[in-house]
Amino acid sequence: MSVSFEVVTNNSRTLKFNDRACFAHINNILDPRDREYGIRIHNIKYKPFFGEQYCEDAECYVEDIRLSSLMNWSTASRWWSYLMSLPFISDCIVDSRMPNNIVAYKAGFRVKSDVPADRMMLVLFLLRLPQFQAGIVRQWDRLVRYHKAQKDTAFVLALGLNNTLGYDYESGEATSDPELRGSEGKDTAYRLDMFNPTSCAESTVLYPEYTTVRTLKILLNRLVNEEYDNQLFNGIQGLFRDTNRYHRAPKSDPECLGRFFAKKGATAYRRGNFMLTVAKDILQLEGVHRFGDLRYVSLPNRHITSDQMQQIISLIEN
């Protein structure tokens, strides 16, 4: 998995980067001499699903959009449209380039650099989610369209359930009853309604190890609304336009990006860890005592029925 983006500096220079491992490559764009001359990064443009691929007809590599088989434009567009409705996200988008339709989404998203570096990076991660962690986006879409959850509730729940495994089954059954299995035992709905305790330091938006029920309630009440808490969720690193650098902290560091949203975070059940609460109180799983035990729960046992999902929705909303 790779990402493509463009960087525009304050002297109107545009630098293109295709198929990079992650956005952290921006840390190495400017050298000491650039900084000496006052050159700064003005904005970063994320280009969804863009990259180079080999063209057999031309017998060379060409730049093109490579939409993953795990995602479709309709679902991705609904996700991006929702993100653009959140002031936490839209405040970081270059005003003159605010995308609001599928053509604009395909063209890319320009993110400002005059925000804290960790917040800027998190916005880029959320915009990139349909490409890097399609399962979470499909889980959000299913929560809204099938389980009839509010979009804001679905957003925090999709991040909390962290179902990056939702892409393993082919699409086409996303609105079917999750209790019904396909003829080959491969029902997308069955795989979409589940939790995933594993996380990736390179792409996970919200580490499940540190996510509590209270964390998701704080996100629901103080982030995903028109008057979000700008002090709580503004970021702690310096403005990226000034530092031109994003500090990557390890998972164990409270300042790491995957814990940006994890306010009042905890790993223990007695302190309200969200995934442990779901596993023990709602799914009634046996042998689960610590967060590490969740990694040994089989995939079928991670499945969440429709009734159980309604309980989880109520847990966060009430």
Q: Where are the domains of the chain?
A: 3-317
Q: Please give the Cα distance from 115 to 112 (Å, whole number).
A: 7
229-283, pLDDT tens digit by residue?
988 999 999 999 998 888 888 888 888 888 889 888 888 999 999 999 999 999 9
The two structure tokens encoding residue 108? 């890319």
Residue 170 has pLDDT above 50, yes or no: no
What local confidence, expressed as pLDDT, does residue 190 receive?
57
Query: What are the residue ranges of helices labelled H in the chain?
Result: 32-36, 73-84, 87-90, 102-107, 117-132, 134-145, 151-161, 188-192, 213-222, 240-243, 274-277, 306-317
29-86, pLDDT tens digit by residue?
888 888 888 899 999 999 999 887 777 777 787 878 888 878 899 999 999 999 999 9
> What is the pLDDT confidence band of residue 153, given thresholds at 50, 70 and 90?
very high
3-state secondary structure 2-21: CEEEEEEECCCCEEEEEEEC
Residue 136 has pLDDT above 70, yes or no: yes
Residue 143 has pLDDT above 90, yes or no: yes
Share of the chain above pLDDT 70, in %: 91
Share of the chain above pLDDT 90, in %: 54
pTM for the structure as a whole: 0.89
